[in-house]
Chains A and B, each alone.
Chain A
């Protein structure tokens, strides 16, 4: 049992932040790694990337958007409640070196994970340009934290309610056109966003890393549910990832595999409401 120490609702309650007391995991977690969470006895095992951690106080932070039954269930937890199972840290840590200027691109809830990675990018001594995007103003999360880490910051919203109107790809293209010193792009967000970021950076020959979040059960290499096509080869996201060379990822396959249970998710939600 793992205690919820703090809960915060963001973006009108559609994005939730939970701080969990998991000393062993907090002591080990590196940026880019994830945990598997099962909220209760009947729950599903879902992977959630660690958004922040503090080894000293034994706390890990997870931030997630309500998308289905399991995340809706997690939303019901408040400080003082206990989550049944948390296991991790799983996956490979993000490999971050000093390369010069790095663009970190975050979309929606992906910003939360990006934040943890950006800390490491910063610690390695890189110059950072941050591009954050979302549907509208309220979905831009952790802006203040990101501003602290980034040397430059661009914000885009689809509806123009905040920052520049448009997609992160528009802002990224502008960056790539204007500057030639960009050595690496880190993109974390919805699959569709990462896909278009990678298409763009491929044209500019800028190495791009993405963090994938496929469906998983155990997270230890046992089920193979998280397999993704990487440059024509099948990799297990849980043990080979979750970070991959974005130019090699078969995003279309990933998108389809991730939508496998959409209908079931609805059934599960309806069942729980009843």
Chain B
């Protein structure tokens, strides 16, 4: 035994030990620190032991307790007392004797070998073994803020992966030679490559790989509907759960942000061509970043006083902290992008004027016009569009009234009409603003709720009521015209419509009242109107959205491009970014070809 030493362990995620003799796992615990970094000196050498809070991933039979700084003579399984150091093992690389230790990230599955002569490390498994092992690692869940606590603060709900969790989750990726996930991503991030970089613990490079294709990784890691995109294509998803690509993206982006590791790449040679981007939402930022990196001079015009579009006025702080958005936008400035705030294109400057000064114009103005139901009492006091409600809270920081001047809408019994992500955001915001009871009223059933499953789950966990198959028919006001109630009708689902969704039909004489003092209407939005002011040449479809050539995103006005919600109607952050990517490529092709 004297000659054999454990040098160090490759992964810093060593959580548990497994005895190959009695087939049981145990963990090594520091008495004083529950799961903090622990350095154990083992036979004169330091071992880096990191104990994790997520021990329940494994079935732990027993644990060995060690004192801080205690020197272990040997590491024996607490079950059968067999030493875990095997003097007979030979190094697979150089043929020398090695110590064998079965403490690893994969616990009982993945043994580790460290060659004492040359320090080689390997786990002595075939590709097939490795694959089987990977298939046995369960999808890692992201730790979240406690349900009871979080409804009283505006801090982010999911905490993000720890390094340990990220390593475990990244270990699940099969590194397919023909990865399907990349096609599922509207901006085609090289997903297997960034996950491989995580496995290599090279988080800076992982972040670089993502940033190459996606300028807003910390945003997308949080708000993308990965379950419908990259993760829907993951082959692991066929038999088990797909790799948590979104959570890993968030981990990498947050890591890069925290360490401030990502610097702007070297500025490319200037092309002497100017691009105007209208709207600083996710689509506009993508166009801007792509073209800046090709050497164009880019100016982004924003109507509001802060850049970010829906990322700052729509998505709440507890789902997407604003400091993250501003950090990602800072990167655009690092690339050399200029952002002109308080500039409404269509009012302050017209598209024609932009075309005089710029070689191409991209319109990413979104679909910001809130829809109302046009029913009685909709203009009563304390009836809001979700847009207004969320803008007050998020952009204007009304939740910190009176420190910030914009008044916060208040209500005790809050009703949200609609079932999309925006409805969930509004409901959860209302709860955090102090409402005693928050109810979501939706005209179809649970299955048809358009919101992401994760958002619905969060809302339900937080105690938001769902009144499904219900629709309001009028609002009732008190003597000073503040809303006090809502008359509703029950619905049943009829035949599927053209889109495949079953049409809700009101049930006669099913009327009933809901008491409420704050109503938020969240039934969707239409195209932002001002961009069309004085612009009859800009062709629109019958819903009022801009008509584009889908291959280039060019509109009916030459050199004017458009993408995102203003073309498709309300969709996702990432699909707007995908459209921006397409437009940026087309702009580059056209301008460099001319």
A contact residues vs B (CB 8 Å cutoff): 24-25, 28, 38, 42-45, 69-70, 73, 84-90, 217-218, 220-225, 227-229, 234, 239, 253, 256-257, 260-261, 264-265, 267-268, 270-272
Contact = CB atoms under 8 A, between A and B. Distances in A.
A230 to B, nearest CB: 11
Residue in A224, A253, A272 with the greatest tally of chain B CB atoms within 10 Å:
A224
24 contacts: A24-B343, A28-B347, A45-B305, A45-B396, A73-B405, A84-B305, A87-B303, A90-B347, A217-B395, A218-B303, A220-B347, A220-B528, A221-B368, A222-B313, A222-B391, A224-B370, A224-B372, A227-B379, A253-B379, A256-B381, A264-B401, A267-B402, A268-B407, A271-B402
A268 B348 CA distance: 31
B344 interface: yes
Given A234-B372, A239-B529, A85 B403 contact: no
Interface string B338-382: 000111100111000000000000000000111010100011011
A187 to B, nearest CB: 22
Interface string B291-321: 0000000000001110000000100000000
Nearest to B341: A85
A89 B387 CA distance: 22
A42 B404 contact: yes
Given A45-B396, A271-B402, A234 B378 contact: yes
Given A69-B405, A223-B391, A234 B348 contact: no
Contacts of A87: 303-305, 342-344, 348
B503 interface: no
B370 A222 contact: yes
Nearest to B314: A222
Contacts of A228: 379
Nearest to A43: B405
Contacts of B481: 253, 256
Contact of A224 (B341, B387, B403): B387
B530 interface: yes
B406 interface: yes
Interface string B516-531: 0000000000001110
Contacts of A227: 372, 379
A89 B348 contact: yes
Nearest first, the 6 A-B pairs at minimum CB distance are A223-B388, A264-B407, A271-B402, A224-B385, A44-B405, A87-B342
B137 to A, nearest CB: 45
B498 interface: no
A242 to B, nearest CB: 13
Interface of B: 303-305, 313, 341-344, 347-349, 368-370, 372, 374, 378-379, 381-382, 384-385, 387-388, 391-392, 395-397, 401-408, 480-481, 528-530
B532 to A, nearest CB: 10
Contacts of A25: 348
Given A44-B396, A253-B481, A271-B402, A223 B385 contact: yes
Contact of B382 (A89, A90, A234, A260): A260
A28 B372 contact: no
Nearest to B406: A44
A246 to B, nearest CB: 18
Given A45-B396, A85-B342, A268 B480 contact: no
Contacts of A253: 379, 481
Nearest to A87: B342
A169 to B, nearest CB: 25
Nearest to A226: B388
Contacts of B530: 220-221, 239
Contacts of A270: 402
B305 A217 contact: no
A222 B528 CA distance: 7
A218 B304 contact: yes
B347 A217 contact: no
B531 to A, nearest CB: 10
Contact of A70 (B385, B397, B405): B405
B369 A222 contact: yes
A36 to B, nearest CB: 8
B528 A221 contact: yes
Nearest to A69: B405
Nearest to A274: B402
A28 B533 CA distance: 13
A25 to B, nearest CB: 6
Contacts of A234: 372, 374, 378-379
Contacts of B381: 256-257, 260
A217 B368 contact: no
Contacts of A223: 370, 385, 387-388, 391
B368 A220 contact: yes
Contacts of A268: 401-402, 405, 407
Contact of B347 (A88, A222, A225, A272): A88
Contacts of B391: 217-218, 222-223
Nearest to A270: B402
Contacts of A85: 305, 341-342
A70 B368 CA distance: 26
Given A86-B342, A229-B379, A253-B481, A220 B348 contact: no
B528 A217 contact: no
Given A45-B406, A239-B530, A256-B481, A217 B344 contact: no
Contacts of B402: 264, 267-268, 270-272
A85 B343 CA distance: 10
A234 B375 CA distance: 10
B69 to A, nearest CB: 51
B411 to A, nearest CB: 12
A25 B342 CA distance: 10
A226 to B, nearest CB: 9
